[in-house]
A and B are shown apart, each in its own frame.
Chain A
C-alpha cells in the first residue's frame, strides 16, 4: 500500500462522513445530535488524508520511503464509502421490526399534558403515545390524537395493522420497535412499510395485543412521505 493510497483511503472515509452529514441521510443511521461530530471527524480525516497525499508526493521526489505499512484489511474502508455514496440504504422498516422482541420499549415517564391543536387534535409521537398509554393513561382520556409511523402487520390478528416507529438510543443498531395497533379502519389497508399519518381515539389497553401495545380507534389514515428523521 503506497502513501498515496493511504492518504486517499483516509480522505475517502472523511468524504463519506461529510456526505452523510451534509444531507439528511445520516438520520437513517445515527441520531441528529451526532451531526456536528460527523462533520468534525469528516473534516479532520480529509485534512489528515490530504496531508498524507501531499507529503507522499514530496517524499517520492526526495526518494524517501515510509516504514510500517497498514494491513490490507484497511482496503475494507472502501465498502462503507461505496455503500454511502452509491446505495444509501433506507431507514429500518418492517423487516427489522419483525426480527425484534415484541414491544419492549425504553419507557421514561411522559412530561406534562398534551397540547391540543386548533382542529381539536393533539399531535403525538408513537413513542410518546405508548408511554402515556402505559404510564399516564389519564392524560389521553377523551383526546383525539394524530401520529405518524410506518405500517407493520398486526401479529395478534385483533387489529387492522400497526403504526410503528423505532426508538433509537445511539444508532440504528440499538433500534427497538414501538407499536400502536390500529382498529376499526375503513377503505384500503395501507401496505407494509408504507408511511402513514393516522388520527384516532385511544382505546383501553388490550393485553391480548401484546405487552406495551396500545390500541387506537382510527378515524382517518393518510399516506405520507417518509420523514427526514425516521426514528423516535
Chain B
C-alpha cells in the first residue's frame, strides 16, 4: 500500500516537474546522471525484446517441449546451444530473461547458460561491429569469436558436471501462469521485466559510479602488456558495462593496451559486467549469480589470453 502510494506520488511529481523548467545538474552529478540514464535507456529496448520473446515462449511453446527436443547428452547439447546463440542479434540484456525462460521450460541449465553467454558475444551484429572497429585486422574478429564461443561451451560443460539444481531454483520456479495466450504473454513479460529491471537500474548505478569515480586516465599508468594490462582490461570490462555491440569501438580506442588485453576486454564484457550480474541475480537468483559470475570471469580471461597468445 505504502509502495503503491510512493509510485503514484512519483508519477504525479514527475508529471508536475516536467511542466516547470528542468533542474540542470552540474559537474560530476550531471556526468553520473547522464551515464546512468544512458546505460539504462540503451539496455531497456534489448531487455524488452528479451522479455517479449520470453513471454512468447511461455505462451506458445508447450511446456517441456524445448527440453525434450534438446540432445540428452551435454557434450552435444552445449555446443548446439552455443551456436544457437549466434541467431539472436542484440546486446547481452535480452539474453538473460530468454535463458531464464528456457530453464523454466525444462531446458538443461548447462545448455541455457551456454546460450546466455554466446548470444551477446558471437552474433553477426557484434562480429561486424568488431570488424569495423578494427579495420584490416580480421584476426581480431576470429579471435573474439573463438574465445567467446570457447568460454560459453566450457562454462556450459563444467556446469553440466558441477552445477546444482538448487542454484537455478528461482528460474525453474518461474511457473507459467494460466489463462489466455495473450494473458500468459503479458503477465510473463511483466514478471520478467520487473525481476530484471530493478537490477538493471542497480547495475547502471554501479557502472555510472565507477565511470565517474575511477577516471580512465588513471588507468593509463597500468597500460602496456603483461598481467597488469590483462587485469586492468578485465576490470574495465566488468566495471564499464558497455553494450556488446559497442565495446569493440572502446577497445579500439584503448590503443595504449596490448591487443591480447583488449581481446580480454571483448570476451569478458558480454559475459560478465555489473549490469549483467545484477540482471542474472534478478532472473536466476543471488546464489546463482554469486557462483556463475566469478567462474565465468575466470574462464573468459583464460580463454581470451590463450586465444590471444595463439592468434594475435
Contacts and interface: CB of A to CB of B under 8 A. Distances in A.
B30 A108 contact: no
23 contacts: A9-B194, A10-B194, A12-B7, A28-B34, A45-B193, A68-B174, A76-B198, A85-B15, A87-B33, A89-B31, A92-B35, A100-B216, A104-B256, A106-B252, A109-B135, A169-B129, A169-B133, A170-B42, A170-B245, A170-B249, A171-B39, A171-B243, A176-B253
Contacts of B62: none
Interface stretch (B79-87, B111-119, B151-159, B181-189): B181-189
Contact residues of B: prevailing secondary structure: helix
Interface in A92-140: 92-93, 95-96, 98-102, 104-106, 108-109
B18 A86 contact: yes
Interface residues of A, number: 78
Contacts of B208: 173
Interface of B: 3-4, 6-8, 10-11, 13-15, 17-18, 22-25, 27-28, 30-31, 33-42, 44-45, 48-49, 52, 129, 132-133, 135, 173-175, 177, 182-183, 186-187, 189-191, 193-195, 197-199, 201-202, 204-205, 207-208, 211-212, 215-217, 219-220, 240-243, 245-250, 252-256, 282
Contact of A74 (B8, B133, B198, B241): B198
Given A41-B49, A173-B240, A73 B198 contact: yes
Give the residue among B6, B25, B44, B207 with the most A Cβ atoms within 10 A: B44
A110 to B, nearest CB: 12
Interface in A149-193: 167, 169-174, 176
B148 to A, nearest CB: 18
Contact residues of A: prevailing secondary structure: helix
Nearest to B174: A68
A101 B14 contact: no
Contact of A86 (B22, B40, B215): B22
Contact of A89 (B13, B30, B44, B190): B30
Contacts of A90: 24-25, 30, 34
Give the residue among B27, B42, B245 with the most A Cβ atoms within 10 A: B42
B246 A170 contact: yes
Contacts of B129: 169
A174 B247 contact: yes
Contacts of A2: 4
Nearest to A26: B41
B44 A41 contact: yes
Given A8-B8, A85-B18, A98-B215, 18 more contacts: A5-B7, A8-B4, A10-B194, A13-B197, A41-B48, A79-B205, A83-B33, A87-B23, A99-B215, A101-B217, A104-B254, A104-B256, A106-B252, A108-B132, A172-B38, A173-B38, A173-B241, A174-B247
Nearest to B244: A170
Nearest to B51: A48
B22 A170 contact: no
Given A29-B38, A89-B25, A95-B30, A45 B243 contact: no
A84 B193 CA distance: 19
Interface stretch (A49-57, A196-204, A213-221): A49-57
Contacts of A93: 30-31
Given A29-B42, A80-B41, A102 B217 contact: yes
Contacts of A99: 31, 211-212, 215-217
Interface in A6-55: 6-10, 12-13, 17, 19-20, 26, 28-30, 34, 37-38, 40-41, 44-45, 47-49, 51-52, 55
Contacts of A76: 197-198, 201-202
A174 B190 contact: no
